[in-house]
Amino acid sequence: MNVNTKNLVVIYEHANYQGENQSLSEGKYNLADINIGNDKLSSIRIPYGIKVTLFEHINFRGRRKTFTTNTKYVGDDFNDLTSSLTIEKQKICTGHGNIGNCATTAEERELESPFSRLFDRSDLTYNAHAISLLAGALGPMQESPTNNSFKPSIQAGFTFLGQFIDHDMTEFRVLDEEGKFVDKNPTIGVRQRVAPEENPTSTNGRSSRLDLDSVYGLFGETNPELFDDNGFFILGDARRSNGKGERDIQRNTDFGDGRRIADPRNDENKIIVQLHTLFMRLHNKIHANNGGDIKSPGFTESKKTVQQIYRQIVFCDYLPRIVTTKVINNVKQAIKEGKSFYQQMNREVNRALESEKPLVAMPVEFAHAVFRLGHSQLLDFYRLNTNNVFPLFATSLTGQQTDLRGNEQITEETQIDWSFFFGERAQLGRPLDTKLPPSVFRLPPPAITEPPISLAERNILRGIDFGLPGGQEVAVSLRQLYGQIELVPPQFLGIPKDISEIEPSLEVNTPLWYYILKEAEVLNLQNSQLGEVGGYIVAETILGSLAESGFEFNISCPNSLEKSANINNPKEIFSLVNLLSFLGEIN
C-alpha cells in the first residue's frame, strides 16, 4: 500500500499556485525561513492531513488564519500579509468529522470513510480500442442465445440484495482540489487518488460499517425527516395487493428531490426500491413494540435490532452464496489474528492521518471492481409477479413501454411477488462469468450521462481510473497471507486473439473486474461462488466491515435459510426468506 510520507506544503507568491514557491515540511517558520519573502504568500498546496496556520507578524503573532486543504487564494483578508507560519499534522475530530472540523452534517463528513487500497497501486494502461472491442456491444462479453454456461446460479433476488449492500457500503464522491465534496457525477477517464495518497480526488460517502445508513440516514446518523413524530418511517399511502404493508416510498414530497428516501440510488430500479421498503417496514413492525420518537431509547433499540438482522442476513444468507466456505473461514481467522489486508489497510490509513477515533476505509478493489460482480448476474427480463414480466430497459426491440428503471411510482402491475425472487420458487439470475445481458451494453439515459454506454466497458475503465492492479498481481499478493492461489491460464481468459494482439497485456495484467468473473467461471465451475481472488476481496471487505461494526462471527446460522413458515420473532431472522415471512410476504 502506498503511504504518502512526503507531506510537504508548498507556498506560492501568487494566486493559483503561480510565481516563486517554497516546499516546507512540518515545523515553525519565521520570517527568515520564508524564502519567497515577507508579505508575499497568496496560495498554498497542502497534503492530506496537514494544517497550515498563517500569522500576520513575525514570531507567530498578530492575526492568524488556518488552512487544511489546497487553497488557490488565501483571501483578501490575508493576501500578501504572512510574516510567519506553522505546519502541523491535524487531529481528526473525535466522533464523526471531517479533517480539521467537528462536522455536524453528512455533507461535512466526506473524509470520514475514505477510499483506500488493499494492495499497491498499479497505474496500468491499456489500448482503448482493445478495451472497447473486449467490453463493448456485440463483443465477447455480450451474452448471446448460443452461450451455454454450466456454472450454477443463485436466486435472482440476491443480485439486488448485493446492489443494496453495495449502496449501504460505498458511494463514489468527488473531491475538488480544496478537498471538499463536489456534487457531481465522477468522470470516466480521470485518474483518481485515495487516502492516504497526497491530495485525494475521491472519497467514500458511506460509513462502511453495514449500518443501513442508506436507509436511516447517511453516516449512521438518523435523518429525522424520514420519520414521523412516533419514530416510524414515513412510507407511501398505497398498500400492497396482499394487504401486508405499504408498497412504495413516499413520492411527490418536499424531501430531497421529491422522494423520501435516504439514498436515491436505492430508487434507480423498481426492484431495489421495493427491497429498500422491506427494511423500512421491518423497522416499523419492530418499533410498534418499542415505541418512542427518534430520540427515545425505544427507537434506538428498534434501529439496533434492524441493523443486527441486516448484518445476520449479509453474514448467513448473502456472503456464503457468493464466497466459498474455505475462503470465508480463512478470512475470519486472519481477522481474528489481526493480519487481514483489510485491517492492515485501516491501520495504515489511521496511522497516516493520526485519527483520534478510528476511521473505516473502503477498499477501491472492492468498490470499483470486484463487487460489481452483480452485473454478471443480471437478466434482461424479470418476472415481478404472476401476471407481469418487464425488461431492465425498454427499447424498440422489447416491445414494451414500461421497464424496471426507477424514480417512478410502484403500481399494482410493478409490485413484486417476492416468491419470484427468494425461496424455492424463485427465478434464477445469471451465473458469475464474463457474460452480461445485451441490454447493459447500450445503457439508456438517465442510467448514464456520458460515454461509454457499455456497462462492462465502464467497469473496466473505472478500475483503470483508480489504479487497480491486475487480477494476476492481486493473486500473487494474496499468497503472502493465504498460501497458494491458482492463476487463470492465459489461454482460458477468453480474450480473442485479435484483441490480445492489439493489447498483449490483457493476458498478463488482466483488468481486475474481468479477471474475477473469468476466475469464477473457469476455476470454480461446479459452484455458484466466486473464485479465490474475487472471494478473498469480497470476504475481507464484508467480514472486515462486520467486525468494525462489532458483529460477532460466532453466531449460529440456521441450517435451513429457506424456512418461511411461522417466523414471528425478529430474533429468528437470518435470511431474506425469514424476513419476508416475518413481514407476511411469504407463507
CB 193 within 8 A of CB 274: no
Question: Which value, to the nearest 10 degrees, does the dihedral of the CA atoms of residues 575, 581, 583, 584 take?
Answer: 160
DSSP code per residue over 417-456: -GGGTSSTTPPB---SSS-B-GGGGSPPTTS-SSS---HH
CB atoms within 10 A of CB 28: 14
Identify whether 541 is part of a domain.
no
* pLDDT confidence of residue 98: 34
Report yes or no on 79 lying in a domain: yes
Distance between CA atoms of 228 and 218, rounded to whole angstroms? Answer: 18
Phi, psi angle pair for 27, to nearest 5°: 150, -175
Paired sense of beta strands 362-363 and 115-116, if any: parallel
- In the chain, how long is the greatest CA-to-CA distance? 81
User: Does residue 275 form part of some domain?
Assistant: no
Q: What is the pLDDT along the chain (587 residues), one digit of tens a residue?
A: 333 335 689 999 999 899 999 999 999 999 999 999 898 999 999 886 688 999 999 999 999 998 877 888 999 889 999 999 999 876 433 222 333 233 444 444 445 689 999 999 999 999 999 999 999 999 999 998 776 778 999 999 999 999 999 999 999 988 877 667 777 778 899 999 999 888 889 989 888 899 999 999 987 789 999 999 999 999 999 999 999 999 999 999 988 889 999 999 999 999 999 999 999 999 999 999 999 999 999 999 999 999 999 999 999 999 999 999 999 999 999 999 999 999 999 999 988 877 667 889 999 999 999 999 999 999 999 999 999 999 999 876 666 778 999 999 999 999 999 999 999 999 999 999 999 999 999 998 767 778 999 999 999 999 999 999 999 999 999 999 999 999 999 999 999 999 999 999 999 999 999 999 999 999 999 999 999 999 999 999 999 999 999 999 999 999 888 766 678 899 999 999 999 999 999 87
Residue 551 lies in a domain: no
Rounded Cα–Cα distance for residues 327 and 363 (Å): 18
Structural domain contains residue 248: no
Cis peptide bond N-terminal to 446, omega within 30? yes
User: What pLDDT sits at residue 559?
Assistant: 86
**DSSP letters of 447-482?**
S-SSS---HHHHHHHHHHHTTPPPHHHHHHHHHHHH
Residue 36, domain member (yes or no): yes
d(Cα 285, Cα 281) in Å, to the nearest integer? 6
φ/ψ (deg, to 5) at 55 = -120, 145
Range of the domain at 58: 9-89
Report the DSSP pairing between strands 172-175 and 202-204: antiparallel
3 state SS for 365-395: HHHCCHHHHHHHHCCCEEEEECCEEEECCCC
CATH number, position 41: 2.60.20.10
**Contact indicator for 443, 455 with CB cutoff of 8 Å:** yes
CA-CA distance, 193 to 579, in Å (whole number)?
40
Provide the domain count of the chain: 1
Asked if residue 202 belongs to a domain, the reply is: no
pLDDT value, residue 396: 60
Say how many Å lie between the first and final Cα of the chain, rounded.
Answer: 50
Whether 45 is covered by a domain: the verdict is: yes
Q: Which residue has the cell 475503465?
A: 461
Asked whether the beta carbons of 567 and 575 are under 8 A apart, the reply is: no
